[in-house]
Structure 1
């Protein structure tokens, strides 16, 4: 019976963590470039139950042989193994702001190990050192004229340097080149990840590599085709209606495990206070 407590509790914990992940997805449904997460559930290893018994052998002298018939398997619970970001392209909307950019995925090579395509990101400078990567192209110019994210991180060019502009009166072509009066004055940095699932999510739409090394330049990556659109933003790829349905399903699963736990609790209460009572 005690094992039943652990099994039901593990189901409740896993559904609670899944609900928290879905709530975070729903909270960022309007965040530009946000990539929703999908949970990966996994069961603990099953146990094979056997019953200890003995079997009489018809001999001149009675002989009892140990016998252990198999009862069957016992599931020991479930847990949420990880939350996997889904890097599918989000919808594109026009903003008419010169400092807003959107990455449009074109042809992305398929990773032979994962069977999934790679992903491109804007490159930004992190205060702790190194580069971070984001799909949120909602940028602005700071007081010194540097192109930054809304939380103050410098946007980088392909060489890893900051982008300095005189004002917001500039244009960008679909190859990411920044032009002032039809003269190219710079280029926005775009990085390519052949296996984006290995990136570590840091919050605020930022990702980093596991070893801290910079991702390769997407403009020079073989087989990578994409566009950069000025005055557009990529919306979150979270489907609000689908997420709400998943939240209700997770809540019902949590409630079902809760009722199982309550049933075990009532059975234990009866075993302790009634069956085990000494008259």
Structure 2
């Protein structure tokens, strides 16, 4: 009975974590460049149930043989194994702001390849983002809304000295008579990238894959940039709400099973063993 109790409880915990993931997706439905997380549920190892008994043979010594009849497998519950972002391209919308840029995927030689803007976090480390909602700080540097420097292809901060600049479709920024190619990074496997918060990604340090490289120097990679546009979130609010309701129903079902086990255990402890 206790095994069933824990199985139902694990189902509730897994659905609770799935709800948290879906709620975060819904909260970021209007965040530029946000990639929806998808939760993966996995079952705990199953247990093989057997009926154990014995059979006495009609011999002079009365030989007894053990008997084991397989009953079937018993599932011991589920858990949320991981959450992985979906890197599908979001819809683009026009903003008219010169500091807004949308990165549009073109041809990529790898099935799981992905493109990112290259930025620098507060610690001076390389980070990557799909959120092109940029601005210009007081020193004239192009930054993210959180103040992280946007980098060029040489991993140097991009200085525009104002809002008046142009970015062509190849991602080359024209400002103060200079042509500055923006840092567009390419990774052959986007699932090596880990969300770090504030729309930033970093390379998984425990992964043996190669870090993102300059997309312009990678054969077979193409992209376009649209100034005055933003890539929207790829969250589908309708589908997310449907998944949330389905997850809640599963949670509620496990809750009822848990309550039934609790009532059965209460009877077993307080009624079955009572001496009348």
Task: Report TM bin, short chain.
Answer: over 0.9
Give the root-mean-square deviation of aligned CA atoms: 1.4
Moved over 6 A (4+): none
CA distance in 1, matches of 2:109, 2:244: 34
Tell me the equivalent position of 1:192: 186
SS in 1 for 2:99: coil
SS in 1 for 2:124: coil
CA distance in 1, matches of 2:188, 2:266: 56
CA distance in 1, matches of 2:211, 2:68: 59
Tell me the equivalent position of 1:36: 36
Tell me the equivalent position of 1:56: 56
Question: Is 1:236 matched up with 2:233?
Answer: yes
Tell me the equivalent position of 2:69: 69
Tell me the equivalent position of 1:203: 197
CA distance in 1, matches of 2:141, 2:109: 33
Residues 91 and 236 in structure 1, CA contact (< 8 A), matched pair in contact too? yes
SS in 2 for 1:20: helix
Residues 32 and 132 in structure 2, CA contact (< 8 A), matched pair in contact too? yes
SS in 2 for 1:99: coil
CA distance in 2, matches of 1:240, 1:26: 6
SS in 2 for 1:70: strand
Tell me the equivalent position of 1:129: 124
Equivalent residues, number = 273
Q: Write out per-residue CA displacement over residues 113-156 of structure 1, whole angstroms, 9 at most, x where no aligned residue.
A: xxx33110001101123211100000000000000000100000
Q: How does 1:215-226 map to 2 (within 5 A)?
A: 215-226=212-223
Any unmatched runs of 5+ in structure 2?
A: none
CA distance in 2, matches of 1:220, 1:274: 76
220, 227, 230: which one pairs with 2:224? Answer: 227
TM-score by length of 1: 0.95
Report deviation, 1:72. 1.1
CA distance in 2, matches of 1:117, 1:9: 36
CA distance in 1, matches of 2:143, 2:59: 90
Tell me the equivalent position of 1:278: 275
Question: Is 1:264 matched up with 2:258?
Answer: no
Residues 179 and 186 in structure 1, CA contact (< 8 A), matched pair in contact too? yes
157, 164, 173: which one pairs with 2:168? Answer: 173
TM-score by length of 2: 0.96
Tell me the equivalent position of 2:92: 92
